[in-house]
């Protein structure tokens, strides 16, 4: 495959930094956009891309995706073969406290990226959406054709809006776009506010884990490396417009997750039971038949193996 230039937004973040490394490793050039938002420590994000910045195939544009002039710089120097839009204000619970901020970043920012890609004639756009768009759906596994008009958090609503804009740009301007719905991604570099990262830190500190609800809520955990493989498959595809789930398709209850994390750390957990949190969905469970059929994709890394890799990475960061 000849060398290509790929624009990756949110490039210093959890998933996007892994993606950028994988693209560079196969010979692509990556133009990363990131504003190092202080939602969590920007120093963590800078460490994520230290290795990339030492090479000559990764260029960083430090800017907000809502700035059209700055975003246009990513498309100015060479033809861009694809855009992977992963930048967003993340997190269900914080979005309930700051709904307007989430809307301006996630919705306006997506419109700016779509328009910049359209003006540059980019032949492939991949949008990172979320399983949160399914809301509190009772029908499992979640199928891409299910209704998504009842999101239960502002974060989820912004992802529904992003998907709608992707379809609009495809419909009006014939832009080839693939929307990928990620299901509870975990692995090395996971954000510090997410459950597995928090649980490992609490266990190693000898502190209790806060369990929201009775432990029966479930999530479909998906390893970051598997998500990266799915993104690259979408990037390399000739799909014109599709929405595709990327999930492990093996839901795990919160109680089971706590036990698995405790086993990976080697510590007996202390648990503090608290009420359910508003905005949290009761379950996620991906149907991945479409991913298998259109992308030849399915998850390969088990929860136990992924947790082992995360704990190893986490301990390396403490040295």
Q: In this structure, is residue 315 part of a structural domain?
A: no
Confidence tier at 319 by pLDDT (50, 70, 90): confident
- Summarised one tens digit per residue, pLDDT across range 212-253 is 999 999 999 999 999 999 999 999 999 999 999 999 999 999
Q: In this structure, is residue 127 part of a structural domain?
A: yes
Q: Is the pLDDT of residue 135 over 60?
A: yes
Question: What integer pLDDT is reported at residue 22 of this predicted model?
Answer: 99
And the tokens for 255? 């109680």
231: helix, strand or coil: helix
And the tokens for 188? 């090395």
> For 110-139, what is the mean pLDDT?
97
Average per-residue pLDDT in the chain? 97
Q: Is the pLDDT of residue 62 over 90?
A: yes
Q: In this structure, is residue 129 part of a structural domain?
A: yes
Question: What integer pLDDT is reported at residue 194 of this predicted model?
Answer: 94
Contact status, residue 245 vs residue 142, Cβ threshold 8 Å: yes
* Alpha-carbon span 117 to 69, nearest angstrom: 13
Q: Is the pLDDT of residue 1 over 60?
A: no
CATH number reported for the structural domain that contains residue 40 in this entry? 3.40.50.720
Q: In this structure, is residue 252 part of a structural domain?
A: no
Question: What integer pLDDT is reported at residue 3 of this predicted model?
Answer: 81
Q: Is the pLDDT of residue 2 over 80?
A: no
Q: Is 59 left (phi over 0), alpha (psi -120 to 50) or beta?
A: beta
Structural domain including 154 reads 5-185+222-247+286-299
Q: Is the pLDDT of residue 47 over 60?
A: yes
Number of domains in the chain: 1
* Alpha-carbon span 179 to 84, nearest angstrom: 10
Residues 102, 155, 221, 285: which is the catalytic one?
A: 155
* Alpha-carbon span 168 to 265, nearest angstrom: 46
Q: In terms of pTM, does the model score above 0.75? A: yes
Return the H-helix or E-strand segment holding 31: strand 29-34
Q: In this structure, is residue 211 part of a structural domain?
A: no
Q: In this structure, is residue 265 part of a structural domain?
A: no
Burial of 79 per CB tally in 10 Å (0-12, 13-18, 19+): exposed
Q: In this structure, is residue 177 part of a structural domain?
A: yes
**pLDDT above 70 as % of the chain:** 99
Q: In this structure, is residue 293 part of a structural domain?
A: yes
User: Is 155 one of the annotated active-site residues of the chain?
Assistant: yes
């Amino acid at each position: 495959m000849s060398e290509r230039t790929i624009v990756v937004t949110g490039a210093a973040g959890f998933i996007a930094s892994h993606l950028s490394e994988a693209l560079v490793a196969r010979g692509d050039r990556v133009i990363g956009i990131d504003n190092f938002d202080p939602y969590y420590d920007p120093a963590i994000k800078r460490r994520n891309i230290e290795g990339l910045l030492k090479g000559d195939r990764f260029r960083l544009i430090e800017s907000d995706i809502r700035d059209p002039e700055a975003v246009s710089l990513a498309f100015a120097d060479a033809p861009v073969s694809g855009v992977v839009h992963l930048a967003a204000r993340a997190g269900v619970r914080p979005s309930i406290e700051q709904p307007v901020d989430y809307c301006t970043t996630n919705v306006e920012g997506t419109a700016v990226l779509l328009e910049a890609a359209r003006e540059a004639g980019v032949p492939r756009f991949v949008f990172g959406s979320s399983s949160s768009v399914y809301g509190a759906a009772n029908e499992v596994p979640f199928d891409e054709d299910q209704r998504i008009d009842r999101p239960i958090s502002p974060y989820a609503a912004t992802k529904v809006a992003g998907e709608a804009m992707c379809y609009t740009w495809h419909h009006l301007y014939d832009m080839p776009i693939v929307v990928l719905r990620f299901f509870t991604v975990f692995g090395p570099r996971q954000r510090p506010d997410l459950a597995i990262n928090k649980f490992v830190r609490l266990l190693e500190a000898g502190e209790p884990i806060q369990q929201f609800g009775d432990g029966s809520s479930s999530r479909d955990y998906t390893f970051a490396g598997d998500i990266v493989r799915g993104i690259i498959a979408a990037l390399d595809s000739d799909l014109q417009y599709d929405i595709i789930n990327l999930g492990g398709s093996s839901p795990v209850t919160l109680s089971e997750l706590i036990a698995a994390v405790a086993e990976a750390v080697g510590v007996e957990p202390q648990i503090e039971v608290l009420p359910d949190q508003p905005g949290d969905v009761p379950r996620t469970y991906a149907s991945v038949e479409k991913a298998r059929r259109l992308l030849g994709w399915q998850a390969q890394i088990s929860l136990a193996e992924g947790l082992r890799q995360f704990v190893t990475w986490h301990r390396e960061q403490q040295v």
